[in-house]
A and B are shown apart, each in its own frame.
Chain A
Amino acid sequence: SAVISQKPSRDICQRGTSLTIQCQVDSQVTMMFWYRQQPGQSLTLIATANQGSEATYESGFVIDKFPISRPNLTFSTLTVSNMSPEDSSIYLCSHRGGGFDNEQFFGPGTRLTVL
C-alpha cells in the first residue's frame, strides 16, 4: 500500500479563519477521499477527489465550505473555510489500494480545534 502523510498533524485556529490540510501519497493513486471524524464519533465521507475532475461532495458538505484540490495523482488538499467550533474534528484522507480487494488506507489525520 502507498504511504500517506498529512500536514499539519494538528492545529488550533480562530473562528472565521480557514485552514488547508495537505495529503501526500508516496505513489500514484486514482481515487482519494476526505473524511471527517467528529469528537467521539465515527467517520463521515466529505468528498471524493479524482485527479483532473471536480471533487464529488456528499450530502451535507459543500464546495464553498470544503474546497478540495487534486492537482496530480499523489497530492490533494482540503480547505476548511470560515471555521466555527463545530468544525473541530479529525480530518483524514484515504486512498484506495490497487489490489483485488480494493483495500482502503487512511492517513494519520489532522486534528483541528476551532476556538
Chain B
Amino acid sequence: ELKVEQNPLFLSMQEGKNYTIYCNYSTTSDRLYWYRQDPGKSLESLFVLLSNGAVKQEGRLMASLDTKARLSTLHITAAVHDLSATYFCAVDSGAGSYQLTFGKGTKLSVIP
C-alpha cells in the first residue's frame, strides 16, 4: 500500500524567509504532484514531477524529485503572505492507474 508522508504539517513563517516542505512516499511511482488549496477552495495544480532529478520552478516555489530516495521537496523562497495556503503532495499509484494518494498537507501561514 502506497503511503505518502508530508512534513511539517503546520508551518508558520515570516515574510522574506525560506523554507522547505518534504514529501516522502513508500513505493516506486511514476509521477509526483504538488497542489495548493486555499480555504474553502478546490485544488490548484502547481507542479508535476516525472523523473528522477526533475526540478520545476514557478515564482517563489521550486519543486524537486529524488525517486531513489522517494522524496520530493517544495522549497519556498522569500515567502510572501499570498503564499499562505495548504500544500499537498500526491503520488500516482502507478501501473497506469492515475490514482493519486495524497499526503496530509502542510498548512502554511506567512506572517507579515
Residue A104 at the chain B interface, CB threshold 8 Å: yes
Count, chain B residues at interface, CB 8 A? 22
Residues of B contacting A41 in the complex (Cβ-Cβ under 8 angstroms): 104
Residues of B contacting A58 in the complex (Cβ-Cβ under 8 angstroms): 99
CB distance from A55 to the nearest CB of B (A): 12
Number of A-B residue pairs with CB-CB distance less than 8 Å in the complex they form: 52
Residue A13 at the chain B interface, CB threshold 8 Å: no
Nearest B-chain residue to A108, judged by Cβ? B42
Count, chain A residues at interface, CB 8 A? 21
* Residues B98 and A104 in contact, CB atoms below 8 Å apart: yes
Residues of B contacting A103 in the complex (Cβ-Cβ under 8 angstroms): 33, 45, 48
Residue A101 at the chain B interface, CB threshold 8 Å: yes
Partner of A104, one of B33, B50, B104: B33
Interface residues of A (CB under 8 A from B): 31, 33, 41-45, 48, 58, 92, 96, 101-109, 111
